[in-house]
Amino acid sequence: MANAAAVITWIALAGALASFIAGAVFSARALPRADLRLRVLAIVAWPFALAWFRTAEQSARINKALVAFIACLMIAAAAWSAAANLHRLAR
């Protein structure tokens, strides 16, 4: 069971990475006429730059990516905790 929880942890971390990349791509596409520094900042720190996006469609996509990112991190933390406890109990 500890191995299954560890696999779930890695799958959730891969989902978190994919969600982060999706949010970065969406934020880069939302600022087409911005200067290069602002665009790089939006790509790197897109969870903190949600106020920059004006249209509802842009904000909705980025918010969905943020929710998916946080959900994947929570699942990874829970699965990591379960794997650690199950590994400790198996000894």
Q: Where are the domains of the chain?
A: 2-90
Encoded amino acid at 72, one letter: C
Q: Are 79 and 26 in contact (CB under 8 A)?
A: no
pLDDT, tens only, 71-88? 999 999 999 999 988 887
58, two tokens: 């842009």
CA distances to 7, 53, 67, 72, 91 from 1, rounded to whole Å, are: 10, 44, 28, 20, 13
User: Which pTM value belongs to this model?
Assistant: 0.82
User: Tell me: the pLDDT tens digits for 19-49?
Assistant: 999 999 888 887 767 678 877 887 888 888 7
